[in-house]
Structure 1
Amino acid sequence: MKRLTLIAAAVAAAAAMHAPLAPAADKPVSIGKLERVATFDGAMPTGVTVTETGRIFVNFPRWGDDVPYTVAELRDGKAVPYPDAAVNVADPADPAKGFISVQSVVADGRGRVWILDTAAPEFKAPRRGGAKLVAVDLASNRIVKTVVFPAEVVLPSTYVNDMRFDFRAGAEGVAYVTDSSLSGPGAIIVLDLATGKAVRRLNGHPATMPEPGFAAAIDGKPLPATFKVASDGIALSPDGDTLYFCALSSRRLYSVPTRLLRDPNVTEAELARAVRDLGVKGASDGLESDAAGAVYAGDYEHNAIRKLARGSTTWRTIARGENLSWPDTLSVGPDGYLYVIANQLHRQAGFNDGRDLRRKPYELLRVKVNAQPAPTN
């Protein structure tokens, strides 16, 4: 009898690896070995990045929690303001100085960590001249570059969300940034790091917009129908040729050739025809890729992380657990682990009739994937 029980459990786990992507009400079946890296008892984190030397950075957007610092480095398991406490305070006289509300942090594999400041605390219209990319040199822990997004790409509805870098393009590289607007058009913003010039691509395209009819449910409870978020997750193939992206309010993955995104002579109509629908992956916040060409996606409806191997058309669940509550940002570290923030985003008061149902601490978790970060140059 015991042997039959073990076989049944094994079959159930295997089936869950490739289970249909429908909202689940039951307690998640644990898959993969999720390890706790750090916990957070204060503000809710959204982003994480692991540098080529193993340093870990996180961020805390100013969405309503008490956020004394919006960017931090983990040192001995504790969050310390980065690069210092002073720069984590907005400068009312100059929005380009000081961090207003940071949504993402990304290590570039070249000795820097980039910080994406939405300049839109509590999802208000971004402060004019405040939405920016800031590069910090990891050797000196000093800011070495600030690129303010041009006014023409920052709409009143813009919420810059996540970013990926390619230093094989342009004089100093290119940044691809998602606009995950809650009320306006989604887009991919292409930013030249040398000149500061930027352009909105796929502006309002169906692939960057909430999926029509999309309705998410977590723990058997539907999210509010009014919660519609545009392009959010983003990942770059290891050769830099393909950009993967998705709307948060969607279960589909899309891709587009980066050379077309960067080419000003390619019209929006031509670019739209080049977008590929890669099918259903689950409802995701963050995306990530690795050096072998695999793509990883969170699945917030199922407390899970899924993987699409290069050349495959089948997503495989590599991690699932009750503590993986709203997997947000993903980051492949040099140690072969995939790091993920679990922040219980759906338990905020705005989703629960004014009741904050989040249960601290929030967690930074990791799962072994035996992969290396996708190169940026």
Structure 2
Amino acid sequence: MIAAALAAALVTAQAAAPAKIERVAEFTGAMPTGVTVSEDGRIFVNFPRWGDDVPFTVAELRNGKPVAYPDAAFNREAADPAKGLISVQSVVADGRGRVWILDTAAPGFAAPKAGGAKLVAVDLETNRIVKTVVFPSNVILSTTYVNDMRFDFRVGSEGVAYVTDSSIKGPGALIVLDLATGKALRRLSGHASTSPAPGFVATIHGKPLAATGPDGKPQPFNVAADGIALSPDGETLYFCALSSRTLYAVPTRLLRDPNATDADIAQAVRNLGDKGASDGLEADAKGNVYGGDYEHDALRKLAPGGTWTTIAQGPDMSWPDTLSVGPDGYLYVIANQLHRQAGFNGGKDLRQKPYRLLRVKID
């Protein structure tokens, strides 16, 4: 009994020990938001067009420097909005030799350009575009801002994408996109789980986070469904609003079922409790769920059936944004100082370059 107790205490202590935060790359230009690591270790990042000078909205890191991907030409808006990248919010390598690009078509959080919100797949061997899926108009509102995505290729003939709508002006939602047919369903639109938490105010280093309104006065910073993660078996989708500290989960079979109503889905949503305020989420093959904690410069982990623990924390982790599990046993994260933008600080840009790509070992 004593030996067992000592062993359990040791395991607990080891689990609680903070991971070393390693710097992978630094960015001295535009502010990045997304990162993904392919199965062969290639790293891709993206830079949404939010006001910075953005020469390319998607890049591959080569020798530690961002290079336009798949090329410079495709990173420029085309006459046909489906033929060029407008403003990319997220990139995800699918483990099948492709990297997927999520184009919001909404630079500066404007209304998305008609026919511009899309998913683009690039073949990693040839670096050529092999598929473009434009979101149908039934799921893209004038207020929609598609934010992050996860894929499951075990369902449908070509798989399905789950995408968050992190609107700052309208209802949040989950979007389910069939990659073969291009048909999509908008789920939990305006539901409490995809909406900013009532009365939520983030506090970072003792300062409440508020946007500067048109009249120059502070106004609440309300962002809907943002972070998203998929369980290893594909049966559960985890998600959260950026302006919230709560993690939610829902069965994916209901999200995909065209006969399931939003009322049916809402009844199946599970509240998994307080995780801290997160921008990005991620899950690994063991069923652990990870989330940033942007109020505390930290990364947190939820073990299967367990509780949240802080796995890394430090000043480098200034606004942890997108998370990505690499093939090398590391969790990669973009730290972009989002809260230091001029819009949150009376018109003064307090960001201090460089922005950083970091990683922590998660076995």
Could you state the TM-score of these two structures normalised by the residue count of structure 1? 0.90
Partner of 1:90: 77
Q: Which residue of 44, 65, 84 corresponds with 1:57?
A: 44
Q: Which residue of 61, 64, 69 corresponds with 1:74?
A: 61
Runs ≥4 residues deviating over 2 A: none
Partner of 2:320: 327
Q: Which amino acid aligns with 1:287?
A: L
Partner of 2:302: 308
Partner of 1:242: 236
Structure 1 residues without counterparts, runs of 5 or longer: 1-13, 18-29, 371-377
Q: Which amino acid aligns with 1:212?
A: P
Superposed displacement of residue 213, structure 1: 1.2
Partner of 2:200: 214
Superposed displacement of residue 347, structure 1: 0.1
Equivalent position SS for 1:190? strand
Superposed displacement of residue 111, structure 1: 0.4
Superposed displacement of residue 32, structure 1: 2.2
Equivalent position SS for 1:134? strand
Aligned length: 344
Is the Cα contact below 8 Å between 1:113 and 1:135 reproduced in 2? yes
Equivalent position SS for 1:264? coil
Partner of 2:164: 178
Partner of 2:183: 197
Equivalent position SS for 1:261? helix
Partner of 2:225: 231
CA distance in 1, matches of 2:349, 2:202: 19
CA distance in 2, matches of 1:148, 1:86: 19
Is the Cα contact below 8 Å between 1:61 and 1:103 reproduced in 2? yes
Q: Deviations over 1:180-214 (max 9, x none)?
A: 00010000000000000001001111000000111
Is the Cα contact below 8 Å between 1:31 and 1:321 reproduced in 2? no
Partner of 1:4: none
CA distance in 2, matches of 1:169, 1:126: 29
Partner of 1:129: 115
Q: Which residue of 257, 267, 272 corresponds with 2:266?
A: 272
CA distance in 2, matches of 1:298, 1:208: 18
Residue 34 (structure 1) aligned with residue 21 (structure 2): yes
Partner of 1:165: 151
Is the Cα contact below 8 Å between 2:201 and 2:221 reproduced in 1? no
Equivalent position SS for 2:360? strand
Partner of 2:8: none
Q: Which amino acid aligns with 2:88?
A: V
Is the Cα contact below 8 Å between 1:186 and 1:209 reproduced in 2? yes
Is the Cα contact below 8 Å between 1:111 and 1:139 reproduced in 2? yes
Equivalent position SS for 2:157? coil
Q: Aligned-residue CA RMSD in angstroms?
A: 1.5
Q: Which amino acid aligns with 2:176?
A: V
Equivalent position SS for 2:49? coil
Partner of 1:286: 280
Residue 106 (structure 1) aligned with residue 100 (structure 2): no
CA distance in 2, matches of 1:264, 1:40: 43
